[in-house]
Amino acid sequence: MIAAFFDNITAMIVLTGVLVALAAALPGTFLVLRGSAMLTDAISHAIVLGIVLVWLATGALSGPVQLAGAALAGLATVALSELLARTRLVRMDAAIGLVFPALFALGVLLINLYARDVHLDEHTVLLGEIGFVWLDTRQVAGAEVPVAVLALGAVLALNAAFVALFWKELKLAVFDPALAAALGFAPALVIGGLLALTSVTAVAAFDAVGAILFIAFVIVPAATASLLTRRLGRMLALAMAVGVASVFSGHALAVLWDVSIGGMMAAMTGAFFVVAMVLAPEQGILAQALLRRSHVADRDCLALVVHLAHHADAPARMGSDATMMADLRWDDPRARRAVLRGMDRGMLTRDDGRLALTDKGHATAKALIKR
């Protein structure tokens, strides 16, 4: 049964995508909250330099040494960007834009100079191909398991252990680094560890999905979850769920339309983000539009209350809908919304077809006029 599962090409492609999505969401959630999401892009490009330097020094094309070298290259990118930003000559976003292209270009030049005949293709590193993960396998307990599954499974376990062990420290380092430092939690060290794990995760994802799809899994599901909740634990769970849903839906649509599997998975992360951006209960476009409409109705209601209070000495005019709309220059739908809001708030009532202020309405008008 187990061997049959690992022999299933579709299952291995989807499993690899799920592992990448879960492993990427763990550091990605904290990076998005910290406002450092684009460091992922910098790390994913700059570690090409780490890969080629490790190969030049040791001849290793994979394994723990490559992971360590790539992680160090990613950390070097972050450190150089922060050092450049601290000079105050450029802002942090510009510093990142200056550092990582330089390191990536250096890595590409070294590949062209010294590794033309070696499988260190920067295009493969960046793009990857999740549809071919089943070709490179290792025998485990009698089953042929894709190397990508083994590597990403190990990285997922490592990321989960780090987040679980340093949950409190990560929260403080992200939301209040000054308090974290005052409490002795070393926020710089905690964030450094998080970025190191991001580098390791990127390297593990290279052969499977490439850096570009990895960046999509790190940033977009976490950004989507941030629109749906303000609680960190729930946000992390939602980011992982969105990533997994993007894998399954992306694979299904890629097969249906005969397009790139990795590209469709990345596109689906964007599709889920758009849905959340429109329909999120508090921060979504629709919710914000309804909130603005509600604020307008509240202001109109208060304006109507004050208007009626000003004309309290003119009973013949007071409360006439036609007169009210003429005085306030409102159309009928706007006037109706204001009246309904005032009646819902207990500030207005109708008496013989005319509007009148309740005791609460008089008190509200008096307070507004006095203010």
Per-residue pLDDT at 123? 47
Q: Please name the residue that has the structure tokens 């309405």.
A: 361
- Say if residue 215 is in the same domain as residue 316: no
Per-residue pLDDT at 275? 97
- Say if residue 98 is in the same domain as residue 166: yes
Structure letter (DSSP) for residue 119: S
Per-residue pLDDT at 321? 64
- Say if residue 126 is in the same domain as residue 165: yes
- Among 248, 264, 282, residue at a domain's last position: 282
Which CATH number fits the domain that encloses residue 333? 1.10.10.10
- Say if residue 223 is in the same domain as residue 337: no
List average pLDDT for each run of 10 residues in the chain, which is 371 residues long.
86 95 96 88 82 82 74 84 87 86 88 70 58 87 89 95 95 89 86 86 79 89 96 96 97 94 93 96 90 89 86 57 73 86 89 81 87 73
- Among 264, 282, 300, residue at a domain's last position: 282
Q: Pairing relation of β-strands 348-351 and 143-146?
A: unpaired
Contacts of 168 (CB under 8 A, 6+ apart): 185
Per-residue pLDDT at 126? 53
- Say if residue 347 is in the same domain as residue 223: no
Query: Do 202 and 70 touch, CB atoms closer than 8 A?
Result: yes
Query: Do 55 and 120 touch, CB atoms closer than 8 A?
Result: yes
Q: Identify which of 172, 39, 183 has the alpha carbon closest to the alpha carbon of residue 103.
A: 39
Measured distance CA(291)–CA(285) in Å, rounded: 10
Q: Count structural domains, the chain.
A: 2
Count of other CB atoms within 10 angstroms of residue 334: 15
Measured distance CA(265)–CA(22) in Å, rounded: 14
Query: Do 172 and 180 touch, CB atoms closer than 8 A?
Result: yes
Residue 285 to residues 87, 145, 267, 279: CA-CA distances in angstroms? 39, 45, 21, 7
Which CATH number fits the domain that encloses residue 138? 1.10.3470.10
Per-residue pLDDT at 171? 93
Measured distance CA(308)–CA(299) in Å, rounded: 14
Encode pLDDT of 18-41 as tens digits: 999 999 999 999 999 988 888 888
- Say if residue 204 is in the same domain as residue 301: no
Query: Do 174 and 33 touch, CB atoms closer than 8 A?
Result: yes
Measured distance CA(80)–CA(87) in Å, rounded: 11
Give the distance from CA 309 to its chain's centroid: 50
Q: Please name the residue that has the structure tokens 């983000």.
A: 273
Q: Own/partner pairs for 136-142, CB < 8 Å, 24+ apart?
A: 136/207, 137/6, 141/2, 142/2, 142/3
Count of other CB atoms within 10 angstroms of residue 4: 9
- Say if residue 275 is in the same domain as residue 290: no
- Say if residue 248 is in the same domain as residue 347: no
Supply the pTM of this predicted model.
Answer: 0.84
Per-residue pLDDT at 264? 93
Per-residue pLDDT at 365? 87
Per-residue pLDDT at 120? 55
- Say if residue 296 is in the same domain as residue 350: yes
The residue range of the domain holding 310 is 286-370
For Cα atoms 225, 231, 236, give the angle at the middle one, nearest 5 degrees. 45
Neighbouring-strand partners of residue 348: 357
Q: Identify which of 12, 15, 31, 5 has the alpha carbon closest to the alpha carbon of residue 236.
A: 31
Structure letter (DSSP) for residue 281: T
Query: Do 172 and 194 touch, CB atoms closer than 8 A?
Result: no
Per-residue pLDDT at 149? 93
- Among 282, 298, 317, residue at a domain's last position: 282
Q: Pairing relation of β-strands 137-140 and 348-351?
A: unpaired
